Chains A and B, each alone.
Chain A
Amino acid sequence: MKIESRLAQIGSQHDPATGAINFPIYQATAFRHPQLGESTGFDYSRTQSPTRKILEEAVAELEGGDRAFACSSGMAALQTVFSLFSQGDHLLVSLDLYGGTYRLIEQVLSRFGITASYVDTNDLEELERHRTSATKAVLIETPTNPLMMITDLEKVCTWAKKHGLLAIVDNTLLTPYFQRPIEWGADIVIHSATKYLGGHNDVLAGLIIAKGEELAERLFFLHNSIGAVLAPHDCYLLMRGMKTLALRMERHQQNAIKIAEYLKTHPMVEQVYYPYFPSHPGHDVHHKQSSGNTGIFSFRMKSAETIPHILKHIRLIAFAESLGGVESLMTFPSVQTHADIPEEIRRRIGVDDRLLRLSVGIEHVDDLIADLEQAFARAQKEVGGVFA
C-alpha cells in the first residue's frame, strides 16, 4: 500500500466492538484483569494504552521500524533515548542542532557523566577524530535546523555500525513521507511530532521508532519506567493530523520552493539555505535519500538592522517558535530556538543575528509572498538609507 493510503487509514476499522471509523480515545488508566495472571494486553496506561498502541503501530510501520513509542514531547523522546546511556558514555552530535537538545546534554546529561562532542556529522574524518572508546552513539539531524546541512545517512549509518555505535536520526523536518532513515541503516528514528506529523500547532508529542527487537525492548522498558508517555487525547490528535500528512507535505514543499526562489532574488537577502537548490552543497545527497523537500528553510539578511522591523510588520506570518504547522511561522533562531547555544558555537555555524527561519504553511503562496513583500518594504523604509 502507498504511504498516502496508509496515512489516511490510521486507526480505521480497528475497533472490533463498533466498527467506528476512528479509533476511540481510551482515557482509562487501569484495565480489569480477567483473572489473576491474565491480562487483556493492557494493565496500566503508562505501560500501554489502546489508543497509544494504534498510533505507535502506525508510526513503526511508516518509518519501517519494529516498534514505536509515543512520548509527551519531542524532548521527552530524546530524553528517553538518551537514558539508554550510562555514566561515562560519550555521544557524537550534530554541530548545528536544536537548542533544546544542546541544553538537555549540557545542563542535564552532563551532571550524570554523559558527554557529547559537536561535529559535522557528514564528515567521516571529523567523526573518527572525535570517536573514543566511550562513544556509544551518533545523533544525526538531516537537514539540520536551522542551517539545513545534509548528512549522508547511508555513509554515516554504515560507519556507525562498523564501530558498534547506535545511529539515531531526528527525522522531524522530513517525516516518513519524504525520508525513512531506517531504510538507510539507522537504528533509532526520533520525531518532534509537534511539528509536521501533528501539523496543526495544537499538540506537543514525541516519537521514537526502533529497529531491532532487543533495542526496542530496552526502549520500552525506559519509556514505561521514566513515564514521559503521550496521553490518549493527544495520541488521537496526532493520528488525526497524520491523516493529512501527505497532502500537507506536498503543499508545504510547493509553497516553500516558491518563497525560497522569491527570497533568493530579493535585494535585501544575502543567502537562502534550502537543499532544494542545486547550488546547496547537500543537494545531491539529499535527493538521493529523500523524495522531497521540507517546508522550512532559513535565510540570511544583508543587514541585521532590518530584522526587528520585518518581525514587527509581518501580518499573515506569525512571529513564533516551532515549525511544521498549517500556519506559517517566522523564527529568529539566535534569540528563540537556539538561545541556549553559546554564542561562539552559534557564530561558528552561522546562527547569527542576520538569520531568520521560515516555516512555510499551507496558506496560498501569493498571500505569503505579498506579506513578506510588504514587511520587507516597510523594514527597508524604516531602516532608511542603508539600502537606498
Chain B
Amino acid sequence: MSDHHENDFHKHGHQPDSYHFETRTIHFGGEIDPHTGAASVPLYMASTFHHFSLDEPPRYDYSRSGNPTRYELERYIAQLEGGVRGFAFSSGMAAITSAFMLLSAGDHVIVTEDVYGGTYRLLTTILNRMNIETTFVDMTDLERVKAAQKPNTKAVFIETPSNPTLKITDIRATADWARENGLISIVDNTFMTPYHQRPLELGADIVLHSATKFLGGHSDLLAGLAVTRDERLGEELYKLQNGMGNMLGVYDSWLLMRGMKTLGARMAHAERGARRLAEWLAQHPKVEKVYYPGLAGHPGKDVHERQASGYGAIVSFDTGCGERTKKLLARVRIPIVAVSLGAVESILSYPAMMSHASMPPEVRRERGITDGLVRYSVGMEHIEDIITDLDQALADL
C-alpha cells in the first residue's frame, strides 16, 4: 500500500468542525472501512465475537451489547446531534420507552400535551402501572410547565413542533429551567431532524428520534435513535439498551445510515415544498385552518425561528368536518393514505383515526385533533404536482 493511500485512510477518519451539515452527513468518520477501503460500512451480521485471549477481552463480545455496524450508526447520529453517545433502537417507541425507563417508580414527568399517540399510550397504560406519574401540559407557555412541577418531578419531555398541531416549545428556556431544577430534559426531534434543529446545542439532555421517519426517509425500516449530552446519561441509557435488548438489528442499522446520507438534500427539498403548500392551503376556501410554523401568524413562529433553521416538511390542516376530510382522503392520488411520515413518498394521515386513535376522543378534541384535521408529510415529488392533486381533491368538497 502506498503512502498516498495511508494518508487517505487517515484523512477519512477526521471531520473538521468547519464542515457544513451536508458534508458531515457524508463524511461522518465511518464512511470508509479501514480494513478494505470499502465505501460503505460492512454489515457485521455476527451475533457473537471470538475472544482471542481471556486477558484481552475483545471490543465487541455480543451484538446486543455492541456491534461494529450499529456502532458506526450510533457514532454518526451522536455527531450530527452534537452529543457524546448515540444509541440505535428497534423502533422510535423502543427509544422512547428506554428514555422513560431512566425514571423509577414514584417519579413524575411533564410531557407535551399533544404528544405522539404512541407515547401517550405508553405513559397512560404501561408506565402508569410501574408508578410513573405524568402531567400533560401545553408547553407553548413555560409558566404552565413550571406550574406542573411536583416534588417528585424528574424529567420534562418536549416535542417541538408537536404532532400533529405543530405547537412550538422554547427548547432553550425549558431546558434551562429543567437544569436549574435538577430535571432531565428530553426532546423528540423527529419532525425537525438535526438538519433543522439540534436540541442538545440548546441545552437539552437527551434527543430522541423515530428514525423510521425523516432520518431513514424511505418508509422501509423501523428504527429509533437517542443521543445524550453527557457520558453519565449515556451510560445509564446504554445499560437499558443492553439490558432490555431493544437495540436495532444490523441490516437496519446499515439501511438507516444509507438513508441519512441524503438527509440534507431530502429535508431541503421537502421543506421548500411544505412552505409553498402551507401558503397555498392558507388561501384555499375549503380549508379552515392551516398549522405550519412558517406561516405568518403562527403563534410559535418567532421561537421556532430562533431555535431551528427551517420549518420542516409537515403541514397539518383542518377542513372543518369529518365528512369532508373523508372525501378528501378518498380523492387524493399522489400521497399514500397511511400512518407514518417523513418519507420520499408524500403521506397523508388522518390523526383522529390513525396516529392518535389511542387517545380518548375528548382528550383529542381538547388538543385540536378534530375529525377534520389531516397531516400532510411532503415527499420528494414536485410540489406543483402535489398542489394540483390537492386542488382536484378539495374541489367541490
Contact = CB atoms under 8 A, between A and B. Distances in A.
A234 interface: yes
Nearest to A198: B47
B244 A204 contact: no
B224 to A, nearest CB: 7
Nearest to B90: A72
Contact of B51 (A113, A204, A237, A319): A319
Interface centre among B49, B93, B243 (most CB of A within 10 A): B243
Contacts of A60: none
Interface string A6-48: 0000000000000000000001111111011100000111100
Given A72-B94, A75-B64, A75-B245, A44 B340 contact: yes
B329 A311 contact: no
Contact of B338 (A33, A85, A112, A206): A33
Interface residues of A, number: 69
A356 B214 CA distance: 47
Given A30-B340, A36-B337, A227-B224, A234 B249 contact: yes
Contacts of A86: 129-130
Contact of B221 (A27, A37, A335): A27
Which applies to chain B's interface (DSSP): helix, strand, loop or mixed? Answer: loop
B50 A320 contact: yes
Interface stretch (A102-110, A156-164, A274-282, A362-370): A102-110
A226 interface: yes
A226 B53 contact: no
A104 B243 CA distance: 5
A74 B243 CA distance: 10
A329 B48 contact: yes
B334 to A, nearest CB: 12
Contacts of A222: 126
Interface in A86-110: 86-87, 100, 103-104, 107-108
Given A30-B343, A112-B105, A226 B54 contact: no
A108 B244 contact: yes
Contacts of B280: none
B262 interface: no
Contact of A225 (B64, B126, B240): B126
A229 B91 contact: yes
Nearest to B253: A231
B104 A30 contact: no
Interface in B39-96: 45-55, 61-64, 89-94, 96
Interface residues of B, number: 67
A307 B245 CA distance: 30
Contact of A319 (B50, B121, B129, B354): B50
B63 A204 contact: yes
A312 interface: yes
A371 to B, nearest CB: 14
Interface in A178-227: 194, 198, 201-204, 206, 221-222, 225-227
A311 B51 contact: yes
Given A87-B105, A203-B249, A229 B90 contact: yes
B26 interface: no
Contacts of B388: none
Contact of A72 (B51, B105, B247, B353): B247
A322 interface: yes
Nearest to B121: A225
A43 B104 CA distance: 33
B60 to A, nearest CB: 10
The 4 closest A-B pairs by CB, nearest first: A75-B245, A227-B93, A73-B245, A227-B91
7 contacts: A35-B330, A86-B129, A87-B105, A100-B245, A225-B93, A237-B45, A325-B47
